[in-house]
Structure 1
Amino acid sequence: MSQVHEQYVEVAPGVRVWTERRGAPDAPALLLVMGAQASGLGWPEPLVEALAARHHVIRYDHRDTGRSDRPFDENPYAVTDLARDAIAVLDGLGVERAHLVGMSLGGMLCQLVLADHPERVLSATLMGTCALSETPYVRPDGVRVPVAELPGIAPEILEMWSRPVEDHGPEAELDRRVEHWRLLSGDQLPFDAPYFRELERGIIHHAGRHLESSAHALADSSGMVRTAELAANRVPVLVVSATAEPVFPVPHPQHIAQVVAGARLVEIPGMGHALPPAVLRPLGKAILEHAAGGAVESVPAGR
């Protein structure tokens, strides 16, 4: 395992976030940006280690997650502030430019950084997310589909998200999180419940608490559209198309690839809105090939 360095970075007055770095300090920086209400430890160790073989890898806890400060209840912030936090993390660690990898909300935050601070980005890899663009999706037959008519989140996930989270203790919370990952994983790969239970047990231990914050779900999500800026993008962008994705299903990845200038698409069959062991090798390979500027080949999960 590569050497790990932990550090707190101030991203706004009085607001600190936890960061972790590994890999050679003089290697190209690669910033991992997790999804809503998710700790940086949501990026699995094998993937982080694989990326650290060639990069100075940085992962961090968003505000109101993990070991970072939790200011939302007293000082609410917007989703766009979370994108500014990504830049503040780079600033705080003395990183001029980085490869970005974003999942779910993290993919949206990476798009905001691409649009607003392209000079800080070497490349970007986006997965499990949607385009911050109002440009319609063009189907293979040429029909233009308005963004509002693209497929939505799977009903069973929306139903789970609608339920209030009650505190029945750490083990019951682990049960809830594992069930959440089962739904997010889709139905094309066998679900590894023990893996996700251990992942979440580590996240709870890291945070020192077992209840998640709802801050990101409550944060102001206005002002995120970047249609013109993404259409003028000049940074290399890779979009991961996960065939079992239940939150932003096909054709959301294809839409992103259409509206972000120069973006390329890679398919990982079997992948859903999760990072189980079976997808880590093809995903890591795709990220590394893209960051190196080479051709990216679609690889089935489990290979």
Structure 2
Amino acid sequence: METFVQLDGDVRLWVCDEGRSDRSPLLLIMGANASALAWPPEFVEQLGRQHRVISYDHRDTGRSTWAFDEHPYAVADLAEDAVAVLDALGVARAHLVGMSLGGILVQLLLLDHPDRLLSATVLCSCALGVGAAATGDSSPRPDLPGPDPRLLALWEQMNEPRDRAAELEWRVEHWRILNGGVIDFDADDFRRLEERTIQHAGRYDNPAAHARADQRGLDRGAELARVSVPTLVIEAPEDPINPPPHAAYLAEVIGSARRVTIPGMGHALSSPVLEPVAAAILAHTADVDAAAPPGNWTRATRHR
């Protein structure tokens, strides 16, 4: 089922609701400047055998509203969007899976809305207050590695004007670097992904809105120690944005989190990693569901 969720003002989010409607909900939260179509269909299908799977396009991606220049927002607002999606679908609690920026948003939700989470899974991400989630202030931070210089150079071109063919080639090259250097890169596979993404959105430009969003409110890493929601951190050892030991550090600051490493994985959901990533998530959510009262996700609560 596809629908739209209306937020305050003139902003609406495109939402896809699929999988097992009789099973616990699982909300997928994608990374920066990426729509829900960045979750490969076969990956969503595998999760959908065990869950009701909900995904959505962030603001300024896909079929959701593109209006950052007229209505700017903060990264933290994107976390509240996830709550709005749950509210609109009548979901009281869900398993949350966040990749990259999505993992940062999941951490904010762990702190601000723990009652809405059955469990959390964070992959290819960093802890609040460090790396991509640093706020630029002078607070002391651990010495963790930054992104690959090749990515930094490519990101400088992110919002430069390009025609459709050049934009497609830029995106494929971006995925090539994100994929890391261990697992073979299938350029045709990622080109097809981006062609579907462009068709879904009805446009090929990239305003890089999330890169321009206000990062205030992300320096909250110290608060993660109080997280009690069952949390899984999936480590991608070849991740060129958040390389080791970012995942180990995140699991350590949460304290109660469990860490699983997917050998060879970079900052991309390439075909060889889909099965092990899905298996890790499903094992985590199955353990949580087995210990929870049946149907404890069905009573909707309204926060907005």
Q: TM-score, normalised by structure 2?
A: 0.89
Residues 65 and 213 of structure 1 are in contact (CA less than 8 Å); yes or no, is this contact kept in structure 2?
no
Q: Map of 1:50-129 to 2, 5 A cutoff? A: 50-129=46-125
2:10 aligned residue: 14
Q: Quick one: structure 1 residues 214 and 242, their matched pair in 2 at CA, closer, same or farther if it must change by over 3 Å?
A: same
1:191 positional shift: 0.6
1:247 aligns with 2:241: yes
1:207 positional shift: 0.1
In the aligned structure 1, how far is the partner of 2:119 from the partner of 2:141? Answer: 25
In the aligned structure 2, how far is the partner of 1:281 from the partner of 1:275? Answer: 10
1:195 aligned residue: 189
Q: Map of 1:179-258 to 2, 5 A cutoff? A: 179-258=173-252
1:49 aligns with 2:31: no
Residues 158 and 208 of structure 2 are in contact (CA less than 8 Å); yes or no, is this contact kept in structure 1?
no
Question: How many correspondences in the alignment?
Answer: 279
Residues 133 and 259 of structure 1 are in contact (CA less than 8 Å); yes or no, is this contact kept in structure 2?
no
2:254 aligned residue: 260
1:226 positional shift: 2.3
| Cα-to-partner distance string for 1:123-181 (whole Å, 9 max, x where unaligned) | 111011111157xxxxxxxxxxx635210001000010012544442222111100000
Q: Matched residue of 2:15: which SS?
A: strand
1:13 positional shift: 2.5
Q: Map of 1:1-40 to 2, 5 A cutoff? A: 5-40=1-36
1:229 positional shift: 3.0
| Cα-to-partner distance string for 1:7-61 (whole Å, 9 max, x where unaligned) | 1001323210000010122210000000110001000001000000010001100
What is the aligned counterpart of 1:178 among 172, 178, 195?
172
| Cα-to-partner distance string for 1:97-138 (whole Å, 9 max, x where unaligned) | 00000011000000000110000001111011111157xxxx
1:130 aligns with 2:123: no
Query: Hey, which bits of structure 1, 4+ residues long, moved more than 6 A?
Result: none
In the aligned structure 2, how far is the partner of 1:227 from the partner of 1:278? Answer: 32
Q: Which blocks of at least 5 consecutive residues in structure 1 are unaligned?
A: 135-145, 295-303
Residues 30 and 101 of structure 2 are in contact (CA less than 8 Å); yes or no, is this contact kept in structure 1?
yes
Q: Which amino acid aligns with 2:204?
A: H
In the aligned structure 2, how far is the partner of 1:230 from the partner of 1:15? Answer: 30
| Cα-to-partner distance string for 1:82-110 (whole Å, 9 max, x where unaligned) | 00000001001111000000011000000
1:230 positional shift: 1.2
In the aligned structure 2, how far is the partner of 1:102 from the partner of 1:51? Answer: 14
1:224 positional shift: 1.2
2:281 aligned residue: 287
1:227 positional shift: 3.0
Residues 234 and 261 of structure 1 are in contact (CA less than 8 Å); yes or no, is this contact kept in structure 2?
no
Q: Quick one: structure 1 residues 60 and 266, their matched pair in 2 at CA, closer, same or farther if it must change by over 3 Å?
A: same
Q: Matched residue of 1:22: which SS?
A: strand
Residues 185 and 273 of structure 1 are in contact (CA less than 8 Å); yes or no, is this contact kept in structure 2?
yes
Q: Map of 1:139-158 to 2, 5 A cutoff? A: 147-158=141-152
Residues 11 and 89 of structure 1 are in contact (CA less than 8 Å); yes or no, is this contact kept in structure 2?
no
CA RMSD of superposed structures (Å):
1.3
What is the aligned counterpart of 1:276 among 252, 270, 275?
270
Q: Which blocks of at least 5 consecutive residues in structure 2 are unaligned?
A: 131-139, 289-304
**Which moved further from structure 2: 208-217 or 224-233?**
224-233
In the aligned structure 2, how far is the partner of 1:164 from the partner of 1:47? Answer: 27
